Amino acid sequence: MFAAVDVDVAIVGAGISGIGAAYHLQTMSPDRTYTILEARGDIGGTWDLFRYPGVRSDSDMHTLGYSFKPWTSAKAIADGPSIMSYLRETVAENGIAEHIRFHHRLRRAEWDTSSACWTLTIDQTDPHTAAVTESSLRAGYLFVGAGYYSYGQPYDAQIPGLDQFDGEVVHPQFWPEALDDAGKRVVVIGSGATAMTLVPAMAKTAAKVTMLQRSPTYVVARPAEDAIANTLRKYLPDPLAYRLTRTKNTKLQQFFYRQARSKPDKTKAKLVALTAKAIPDTDVATHFTPSYNPWDQRLCLIPDGDLYEAINAGTADVVTDTIDTVTPTGIRLTSGRDLEADIIVTATGLRMVTLGEAEVVVDGETVDFSQTWTYKGFAYSDVPNLASSFGYINASWTLRADLIATYMCRLLNHMRDTGTVQCTPRLRPEDSTMTARPFIENFSSGYMQRAMSAMPKQGDREPWLNPQHYGRDRKMFRSGEIDDGAMRFTRPSDETVGAAALAADGAAREPSTASTAVAMASPSARPVRVSVVPSAPTTTTPGWETSPKRSNTTPGVSSICGNDSEYRSTNPL
């Protein structure tokens, strides 16, 4: 029998993924209770954390927005505050706020097959004193929407001599609200999307902003407003106009991505030519012509060509070189050149992590995710009742987050209909000889490569694939078979015979009738915390904290410039 739980579904994270999952649960599986555990003191995740000047999306909001809530602003490339307003509206309109427990960080999740439930260990931070107490919660299913990078610690790129610098060192992840760059000389190290956003934004007030990169990145200028979307909105109801624009944009994204992959030389020549035309006085061969093919790493989108404008105006420039050392007054480059600076911004990237850095234990064994196989790119072999949200490297994150959340609801509904309480992806006998491939293939960005060894393996056949293809995913998640022979639907009594035995006899298929009552919490039950064990107060890590004041120091961050800063998804042309 399924043990009593405090809540049917525990959602981790109140960012785009967690809020979307809550909406889908309420809509598709209204019989399930849920609670959102959020480590920080506000919703929004990425869009609340990053507050550097100009912070914005670099994929269009018609695909970064939810399938169920039209994006109605004129700008398709939106700034951070507008995205936060959109998320706040989503939460308010759907009564999601009352389900969120702020300052609750999942530290450990322990699955017990005999009771078919997760016991979650949560660090609960007092926002006033920063004291942390431990509590626990029992849940039937775990949806992890914790993003993909560490909130507490960005990537430490080890920039030599950084501690000698007499000026201010800032990391975009911990932007100091009071930073004054007026009339100052700024060097932004990096050439990822964050650097491309910061440079034109700071160039408006600083004396001069230099983007220092180790190697170039492809840059694509696009209008911030989508003229077709805005025209459609004039004549059609918002939901229809949004749906049409979303379809247009997903099709275009896929088309351009395929073009770039199948005709890399042609695409490369076109991208470089467009840049050369936009900044005729710049050495585009040196600064804007990458050695790799388009989409081997992400392309950087600049809305309305703002970076080009700053370069043409002489308020920004690009230097392609490597750092010899940081000096008290600036940066000495390997070429011997010195870049004088008052402020150094280390836009050197994120540190990717899995499942919000929580420890996951299944029946007493800590899960090493690198030893698991990905199931449809959202679950893990031999880890029951768990979904995690991971978006696209070549399209907007939310497209996939939406699909994964709806698939979770299909799984929950299937369990309800069949009287089962546990669903576990398990290799079938024929899968035992699968060739392992990386979770994300053919993507050479440093941040992804650095993390790949900790990620689950991808197999060579369905359902052990992470195709990173919206069209295929859409079909699979929306209408693909739920009971596919690899996802085992069981009751605790079935599982006691052991995974090996189940795999060997090919059993553990779901029963055709609902013979066992599903013992998840009743719809009316309110989630209850089962125990609170006070522990010694500790201090919160930067990034988890919620006050608008953020550290202006970069904990251990230093770096060689690189174009590998973070996840990005861009419509290329």
Ligand X SMILES: Cc1cc2nc3c(=O)[nH]c(=O)nc-3n(C[C@H](O)[C@H](O)[C@H](O)COP(=O)(O)OP(=O)(O)OC[C@H]3O[C@@H](n4cnc5c(N)ncnc54)[C@H](O)[C@@H]3O)c2cc1C
Q: Are 134 and 20 in contact (CB under 8 A)?
A: no
Q: Which of 389, 468, 546, 571 binds ligand X (CB under 6 A)?
A: 389
Residues 181 to 210 in contact with ligand X, rule: CB under 6 A: 194
Binding track, positions 420-459, relative to ligand X; x by CB under 6 A: ----------------------------------------
Choose one: 10-18, 336-344, 458-466, 482-490; the region binding ligand X (CB under 6 A). Answer: 10-18
Dihedral (C-alpha) 454, 455, 457, 462: value to the nearest 10 degrees? 170
Q: Which of 103, 305, 566, 572 binds ligand X (CB under 6 A)?
A: 566
Number of helices and strands (H, E) in the chain?
A: 15, 24
Smallest separation (angstroms) from ligand X to the CB of 186:
18
Regarding 110 and contact with ligand X (CB under 6 A), the answer is no
Nearer to ligand X, 14 or 476 (CB): 14
Smallest separation (angstroms) from ligand X to the CB of 557:
15
Nearer to ligand X, 156 or 357 (CB): 357
Strands (DSSP E) contained in 13-103 are 34-37, 100-101
The pair of structure tokens assigned to 234 is: 């004039």
Choose one: 2-10, 13-21, 241-249, 421-429; the region binding ligand X (CB under 6 A). Answer: 13-21
Q: Are 145 and 11 in contact (CB under 8 A)?
A: yes
Give Cβ neighbours of residue 379 (< 8 Å, ≥ 6 apart). Answer: 386, 387, 388, 425, 487
Q: Which of 87, 91, 106, 316 binds ligand X (CB under 6 A)?
A: 106
Q: Which of 121, 245, 315, 396 binds ligand X (CB under 6 A)?
A: 396
Nearer to ligand X, 45 or 446 (CB): 45
- HSE-up of 337 (CA within 13 Å, CB side)? 9
Amino acid at 398: T
**412 sits in which H/E element:** helix 397-418
Count of C-beta atoms within a 10 Å radius of residue 357? 17
Residues 499 to 558 in contact with ligand X, rule: CB under 6 A: none
Smallest separation (angstroms) from ligand X to the CB of 5:
18
Amino acid at 460: D
| DSSP assignment string, 294-329 | BTTB--EEEETTHHHHHHHHTSEEEEE--EEEEETT
Q: Which of 5, 6, 7, 13 binds ligand X (CB under 6 A)?
A: 13
Nearer to ligand X, 154 or 492 (CB): 154
Binding track, positions 18-47, relative to ligand X; x by CB under 6 A: x------------------xxxx----xx-
Nearer to ligand X, 144 or 203 (CB): 144
Peptide bond into 463 cis (omega under 30): yes
Choose one: 94-102, 140-148, 258-266, 338-346; the region binding ligand X (CB under 6 A). Answer: 140-148
Give Cβ neighbours of residue 510 (< 8 Å, ≥ 6 apart). Answer: 414, 418, 420, 483, 489, 490
Regarding 152 and contact with ligand X (CB under 6 A), the answer is no
Q: How far apart are CA 518 and CA 30, in angstroms?
A: 15
Q: Which residues bind ligand X (CB under 6 A)?
A: 12-18, 37-40, 45-46, 50, 57-59, 64, 105-106, 145-147, 151, 194, 356-358, 389, 391, 396-397, 401, 566-567, 569
